[in-house]
Amino acid sequence: MLEYMATNAAWKGPRPPRFLIYPEDIPTNNKGLPRPIPPDVADQFDTLLDKAVSAMKAGEGPPILDSRIWDALLILRKTGMRAEDVCHLKAPDANGRNGCLDRDSEGYWWIRIDAEDHKMGKDHRIPTKESDGTVDAIRRQVQRIAGVKDHFGKRLLFRHGKGALSYGHLQRALIKLAEHLAHEGGPCKITPHQFRHSIATDMIEMGIDLRTVQEFLGHASLTMTQRYVKVYLSTLKRRYDEYRAKRAEIASTTSAATMISDNLEVMDSSGDADGGWVPGRVGQLYRSPLAGGEGVCDHLPMLDPCPDIPKCSMCTKFKAFKHHLPYWERMVTNIQLSVEALKDNPKFSRSLQRHEKELEHAKHIANTIKEVGFFDGRIHNATSQ
């Protein structure tokens, strides 16, 4: 409303001389960490899912839930896609094409989510295998909707006689399933989105690099994916506490310090190549290429997690090398144009100050790379302050 009063010609009342609230004045919404399904509950769910799939393959009705719901939950469990994406999957057209299931020239299967149905407004493809059961689940649902009216004209795969599958249907199904999932002495209610959290956390624990996890989940930025690293760290701490408790019960001549030193290795941080997770190792350095191409982020995920609101180029973990220089030269040019434009409008004095600081820092990075061949946040960010 305040922005409308300050800028819109249709406003006939008193007009503020400048913006009263700037975007940077608005506090961020602190989100909690993702909550994956507890491992013991996931095992129980998988057992029920296997029984349901076996019944459907035998031409029998599955237990507890409708077969259509079981196949939707199977896709959630195996792909980690959003529940809304499952509800909007497309069935093949009259020619058997343009459905949600594709197969490339190498025989690999992909689940298609069109941009109009994706949260981020972009086409998204998720790899899958016939052994996962997702291909069969989609084929079964295609058979179920043969002859079912296309209510919305969008060829929705999970439609039925009265409409189409919704998040509420899946939520109610999982509430019904809660009494069959025991956790900590009672029934466990899970949500459709927790399947997505479980897939992401499992991939991180197995050493899949963050960029691959980001692409698999369809995240808009790497920051969204980094939240799962914190989940992994909390799980790692809990498992280490369990390990310490067990060690206290076992008499051994080998000290815990010797065992840890034999099993932990740290990656060498020298060189300017973009790195990643080393499979089978814990505590190693992870070098994550930043999404915009401005550089890389070095951090020890066990000991030095990324801040909640990272400002990468200002961080001591930030590094940039010669192949990142074109990005910073473009950045200097673009910010300079913004600064010149803002100088002509006194209403944007605060924004001008912020852009001038960004310009100074971008020049500092570009000049440092030109002079010494690299930019290391531990050294050069400290000297610039």
Using one digit for the tens of pLDDT, what is the confidence trace for 47-87? Answer: 999 999 999 999 999 999 999 999 999 999 998 888 999 99
pLDDT at site 268 = 40
The predicted model gives 249-273 an average pLDDT of 44
Q: Which of 154, 111, 153 has the alpha carbon at shortest distance from 136?
A: 111
**Per-residue model confidence as pLDDT tens digits over 182-224:** 988 889 999 999 998 888 888 877 777 777 777 878 877 777 7
Instruction: Using pLDDT thresholds of 50, 70 and 90, give the confidence band for residue 294.
Output: confident
Give the other-Cβ count within 10 Å of 157's Cβ. 27
Between CA 351 and CA 342 the distance in angstroms is 8
Give the other-Cβ count within 10 Å of 123's Cβ. 13
Q: Which residue type occupies 145?
A: I
Strands 109-113 vs 124-128: parallel, antiparallel or unpaired = antiparallel
The answer to whether 200 and 213 are in contact (CB under 8 A) is yes
**In this structure, what token pair is assigned to residue 94?**
């009259």
pLDDT at site 341 = 75
Q: Domain boundaries in the chain?
A: 39-194, 282-385
More confident residue, 236 or 253: 236
More confident residue, 153 or 135: 135
**Per-residue model confidence as pLDDT tens digits over 268-291:** 434 444 444 444 444 444 567 776
* Contact residues for 160 (Cβ-Cβ < 8 A; gap 6+): 68, 145, 148
Query: Does the pTM of the predicted model rise above 0.95?
Result: no
Between CA 89 and CA 91 the distance in angstroms is 7
More confident residue, 205 or 153: 153
